Amino acid sequence: MKPSDVRTKTVDELNDELVGLKKEQFNLRFQRATQQLDNTAQVRTVRRNIARVQTILREKSAEAK
């Protein structure tokens, strides 16, 4: 996920994306706990994508004020 792709989305789309990423993070944590996770780097990628979306959401809310 590139920051330029995230910036083109609306606030509602970003909120939906954030919910999906949080669900994915939960599933990955569950897989890691049960030792079923093959690609452990995926946890890091999802965590960074969550941070990226939250940052863009904060920027958009600051612009609206």
This prediction has a pTM of: 0.91
Q: Which amino acid is at 40?
A: T
17-49 per-position pLDDT tens digit: 999 999 999 999 999 999 999 999 999 999 999
pLDDT at residue 7 greater than cutoff 80: yes
- Compute the distance between CA of residue 56 and CA of residue 43 in angstroms, rounded to an integer: 20
Q: What is the CATH code for 3-64?
A: 1.10.287.310
Using H for helix, E for strand and C for coil, what is the string for the chain? CCHHHHHCCCHHHHHHHHHHHHHHHHHHHHHHHCCCCCCCHHHHHHHHHHHHHHHHHHHHHHHHC
